[in-house]
Every structure is written in C-alpha cells, then in structure tokens.
Amino acid sequence: MSLNGKVAIVTGSGRGLGLAYAAELARQGASVVVNDVDEQTAASAVASIEAEGGKAVAVVAAVGSSETAKALVDAAVEHFGRLDILVTNAGVLRDTVLWKMSDDDFDTVIGVHLRGTFTCVREAAVRLREQGEGGRIICIGSPTGQRGNFGQTNYAAAKAGIVGMVRTWALELKRAGITANAVIPVAATAMTATVPYFAAAVEADAKGEPMPAFFRHDLGFGTSDDVAGLIAYLASDAAAGVTGQALGVGGDRLQLWSHPEPVVTAYREGGWTYDALAADFDTEFGADLQSVGETFPALPDELQRPAASA
C-alpha cells in the first residue's frame, strides 16, 4: 500500500465524495481523520473505514474557523502521532441568482469553502513544516470555479479562489517539500441526482450498473470512487514532483487545467484610449472572446429521461 504510515485529514468526509476520498486513502494504508458536522454521519463513516481494515477517527465540527482547523490537526497528532496529508473537501451550497443572493448566502459559502480551506491549510502547513518531512495539500475545486455557473456567484468565487491559493501555496511551501494541488471532480452526487440530464447515469449507478459510456467518456462523469484514485495518487510519494496544478477527473477522463494565460495581445503606441478601443477592440479581440459556463452535448435518444413533474 502506497500510504503506509501516513496520516491524513479529509474535511467533509462523512458521505459522498469526501467519504470516497477518506476510504481510498485508508485502503492505501493511511490513518484518516474524518470530519463532518453530524456526529452520526461521522461515526458511520469511521465504522465503514474500520470495517475494511482501515484506521480512522472522527472530528465533529463545522469547517471555517481556526478552532476547527486546530482541532483537526490536533486529532491527527493525538491519535496517530503525525500529519502528512490534508484534503479540503468540506462545502455547502446556497444557490440563487445574484439579485436574490443574501449576504448570509454569500458569507456562508465563502466561510466554509474558501475560509475553511485557508484555515485548515494554514494549520496543516505549520505542523508539516515543524515535522520537516514534507507533506501533501489537496484542495477540492469545481468546474464552476473554472468556468462559472448560473446561480452560483458564491460557489464560483470560493472555488476559483481555492485554485488561486493553491498556486500561491505551491510556491510558498516548495522549499519545505510540501506539494499543493487542486482537484476538479465531476461525479454523481446528491446535487446531480436531481438534474434530468444526468438521470440515466444516476439510474445506472443506483442499480449498481456501469454508467453509459456517453457519460463516462464523453462527459467525464462517473462515481465518487472514480475521483478517489487521483486523491490517493497526489497524496503519495509518487506525486512528489506534482505541485501547483489543477487536475480534473471524472468517469474515464483525466484533465490538466491550464493556468490563465493571455489569448490575444495587441499593442498601440501611446496606449489604448477610449477612442482607440471603440475603433479597434472588435477587430483585435472580437473573434477570440472567451466563453463562460459549460455547454453539454445533446443526450443520445436512448439516454433521455422525462423530467420529473412538479
């Protein structure tokens, strides 16, 4: 097992993707600190890992505060003697369009995703640097943070910010041998279960059947377990040379997202005045303006399902 003797924290790991990450890390030999806001959910996650022969303990707390971050790191050290891996997965959603989004909707999502990632990584970095043996930071992003999504101002801001922080941490932590990467997962979750477009895939998964190839290959959409292998790889010694990257994974697809780079560059002596822009902007940039959001291909006829009635 590639992670024998390692100790990992996975935030938001009571169920879903987080539990898949924690379970795979344990299968690879790591001892795992499980985290959830619900005590019963956390206990069930620990029990499922132990039933497979793994080692796990739970910290029941909401991610966001420095106190929770400290409690997570303290639990790793108290129960398993050290810390090697942190996976920041905890999150919440408060979806609504911009003009209906309240301050609380925005602050709650930013507090858990963005601030929670910051506080946990900061606390872990302090411990990993003290140990002096390197480490692995793996932060969970989203396609929404990469391309935007209708009704998700707060979530898009948080997930884009996480990738920005990861690039910075890769620079700051390199000398200590600590890698920092972002994973952009695409998988069947409670959220996608209600979307008619994914109904055939969710239906197959619920029956324990393989998802149709259209979803797994063309869309890169699969199960939580399809994402977990990348988490374990990035946590391992084999990935020591991988840092500052955003890696997408889902179904049969693995992607390396680019860092933002200029698409077109134009120069004008004396600078770009309003009049110059009005005259020349479309000529210089119009054909290369970037798309926003994700566009899915049409579903094959055999995979279409009727939308649920209200």
Q: Is 155 a catalytic residue?
A: yes
- Cα–Cα distance measured from residue 189 to residue 174, given in angstroms and rounded to the nearest whole number: 34
Contact 83, 125 (CB under 8 A): no
- 3-state SS assignment for residue 88: strand
- Cα–Cα distance measured from residue 107 to residue 64, given in angstroms and rounded to the nearest whole number: 11
The one-letter amino acid code at 290 reads: Q
Query: Which among 135, 185, 133, 190 is positioned nearest to 162, based on CA atoms?
Result: 185
Contact 74, 7 (CB under 8 A): no
Query: What secondary structure, in 3-state letters, does 127-164 show?
Result: HHHHHCCCEEEEEECCHHHHHCCCCEHHHHHHHHHHHH
Instruction: Give the pair of three-digit tokens for residue 240.
Output: 């020591």
- Cα–Cα distance measured from residue 233 to residue 186, given in angstroms and rounded to the nearest whole number: 17
- Cα–Cα distance measured from residue 74 to residue 107, given in angstroms and rounded to the nearest whole number: 27
| Choice among 155, 197, 233, 267 that is catalytic | 155
Neighbour-count burial of 29, counting CB atoms closer than 10 A to its CB (0-12 exposed, 13-18 middle, 19+ buried): middle
Neighbour-count burial of 296, counting CB atoms closer than 10 A to its CB (0-12 exposed, 13-18 middle, 19+ buried): exposed
The one-letter amino acid code at 78 reads: E
Q: Can you say how many angstroms the Cα of residue 246 is from the centroid of all Cα atoms in its chain?
A: 9
Q: Can you say how many angstroms the Cα of residue 210 is from the centroid of all Cα atoms in its chain?
A: 24
Which are the catalytic amino acids? 155
